[in-house]
Amino acid sequence: MEIIVVGLSHKTASVDIREKVAFSPTQMEKPLRAVVERPEITEAVIVSTCNRVEIYATTRDIAGGMARIKRFLADYHGISTDALEPHLYAHHGETAIRHVFRVAASLDSMVVGEPQILGQIKTAYGYAAEFKTSGIILNRFLHKAFSVAKRVRTETKIASSAVSVSFAAVELAKKIFGELSDKTVMLVGAGEMCELAAKHFLNNGVRGVMVTNRTFERAERLAEEFEGKAIRFEDLFDQLHKADIVLSSTGATHFIIKPKDVEEVIRRRKLKPMFFIDIAVPRDIDPKVNDVENVYLYDMDDLQGVVASNLQQRAEEAKKAEAIIDEEIGQFYKWISNLEVTPTIVALRSKFDEIRRNELEKTLSSWKELPPDGEKRLEALTNAIVNKLLHPPIAALKRTGQGGRTDLYVDAVRTLFDLQTGEPEAGELGELEE
């Protein structure tokens, strides 16, 4: 049994393709059932997000299984296979395992380290579990992927730094003020970025919001939205000392806030620190404001610089994450390789034993002058022969179970001795884990 992955992502397909093959999250039953109905496929999980559509499945026939899933994706969404084919990737074996581990650990994301993808895969797995299209192998596989993702998250700093301008601003504020719960934010002007940043600050527990704008009605409207206080633009410098964090994004073509104003304000605040964030281009705040004692000014370029260096840091952390994944793949691959060895050994033994018992019975029933301990001795003799014959092949199978190409040996043994093995049983899986 092999794990295969077929899909496309932001790396292989543009958004107009991705949206065509996306699955609606409310109707997952139909496609899931449709995939496992194909004869080649035994288990399936469908992951569909705005950045990727992937199907994880198990099959005995790698090429056939992949072709089936590709055709399914095209047919289900009414696209021609030829149009879809160039965007699709297909992995099996170790590559497939690595791929899913990397996706879950957010190493394959557009923004490396973003946390949503793990939740999305968990939801996707939830549907597969609900509709029983995932079985022992995919259950185990995805749980492993979740634990790998968790390990990456806790052992590397891949998701520890802000990679958006507004998050970067909030993090800076925390380094200046510590707690934000007794801090007030003032919005000067009302741009989209400004509102977004204000929302981030509110989510991080700032106490209050003040809004000022050249059009007072606009300020009032925004203040209402944030449950804050509107201030007339003329009163800006009378009120500024009440703000700890100032977010500025007016359309002004000159500096609105100058060092002299800020010196005055900071004196009124008894030198309590202030954090100015100038999101406007052209800038609203004179860069010299940064030189005022206990005042910190960051403009758009500064914040983007922070984000860029955080992204770089993430890239470095991603290397550590890859090492963790390498380690975990080894373990999981061993497990899955082992998966078919034990049932094969069991089947082989019972086949030999069955033959032995049948032949023994025939002999015993026709043997009239059997000595008193004859039956016992024949039993021992036949048992010894069977065990001696089976010892080398079983040992070889067990050895290959420690890694390597087990399927070759498993297939050979099955064909040579005409074994019928069903799916591995849950009980056997427990044994294999050790």
Partner 1 sequence: MNALLFAITLALYLAATVAYLAYLVKPREALGRVARRILTAGFAAHCVYTIDRYIEAGHTPITNLHESLSFFGLAIVGVYLACERKYRTVILGSFVTPLALLILSASTSFPAAIVPLNPALKSRWLAVHTVMAFLSYAAFAVAFGAAIMYLIQERFLKQKKLGAMYQKLPSLDILDEINYRCLTFGFPLLTFAIISGAIWAETAWGTYWSWDPKETWSLITWFVYAALIHGRLTTGWRGKKAAILAIVGFFVLLFTFLGVNLFLPGLHSYK
Q: Which residues are catalytic?
A: 50
* Rounded CA separation 198/247 (Å): 8
Contact 179, 169 (CB under 8 A): no
- Pick the closer one to partner 1 by CB: 272 or 405: 272
Paired residues of 5 in beta bridges: 56, 91
Q: Which amino acid is at 187?
A: L
Stretch of 36-44, 292-300, 319-327, 330-338 contacting partner 1, by CB under 8 A: 292-300
300 interacts with partner 1 by CB under 8 A: no
- Pick the closer one to partner 1 by CB: 20 or 157: 157
* Rounded CA separation 428/176 (Å): 57
Least spacing, CB of residue 431 vs partner 1, in Å: 35
177 interacts with partner 1 by CB under 8 A: yes
Assign residue 179 a region (left: φ > 0; alpha: ψ between -120 and 50; beta: otherwise).
beta
Least spacing, CB of residue 201 vs partner 1, in Å: 16
Residue 118, SS3 per DSSP:
helix
* Rounded CA separation 194/249 (Å): 6
Which of the residues 139 through 168 are near partner 1 (CB under 8 A)?
161
DSSP 425: P
Among 179, 224, 326, 327, binds partner 1 (CB under 8 A): 179
273 interacts with partner 1 by CB under 8 A: yes
* Rounded CA separation 93/73 (Å): 21
Contact 298, 170 (CB under 8 A): no
* Rounded CA separation 116/414 (Å): 44
Residue 33, SS3 per DSSP:
helix
Question: How would you classify the pairing of strands 41-48 and 89-92?
Answer: unpaired
Among 226, 298, 332, 409, binds partner 1 (CB under 8 A): 298
Among 165, 230, 306, 325, binds partner 1 (CB under 8 A): 306
* Rounded CA separation 102/90 (Å): 15
CB contact set of 215 (below 8 Å; sequence gap of 6+) = none
296 interacts with partner 1 by CB under 8 A: yes
Paired residues of 188 in beta bridges: 212, 248
Contact 300, 276 (CB under 8 A): no
Stretch of 115-123, 286-294, 386-394, 409-417 contacting partner 1, by CB under 8 A: 286-294
Among 11, 33, 174, 399, binds partner 1 (CB under 8 A): 174
Among 86, 115, 178, 205, binds partner 1 (CB under 8 A): 178
- Pick the closer one to partner 1 by CB: 136 or 240: 240
Least spacing, CB of residue 113 vs partner 1, in Å: 15
Please count the residues of this chain forming the interface with partner 1, following the rule CB under 8 A: 22
Stretch of 59-67, 175-183, 197-205, 401-409 contacting partner 1, by CB under 8 A: 175-183
201 interacts with partner 1 by CB under 8 A: no
Among 14, 27, 309, 358, binds partner 1 (CB under 8 A): 309
Stretch of 10-18, 35-43, 305-313, 325-333 contacting partner 1, by CB under 8 A: 305-313
Stretch of 177-185, 246-254, 366-374, 391-399 contacting partner 1, by CB under 8 A: 177-185
Which of the residues 213 through 272 are near partner 1 (CB under 8 A)?
269-272
How many CB atoms neighbour CB 203 within 10 A? Answer: 10
What strands lie across the sheet with 245-248, from one edge to the other? Answer: 229-232, 208-213, 184-188, 245-248, 274-278, 295-299
Which of the residues 93 through 112 are near partner 1 (CB under 8 A)?
none
**Site residues (vs partner 1, CB under 8 A):** 161, 172, 174-179, 269-273, 290, 293-294, 296, 298, 302, 305-306, 309
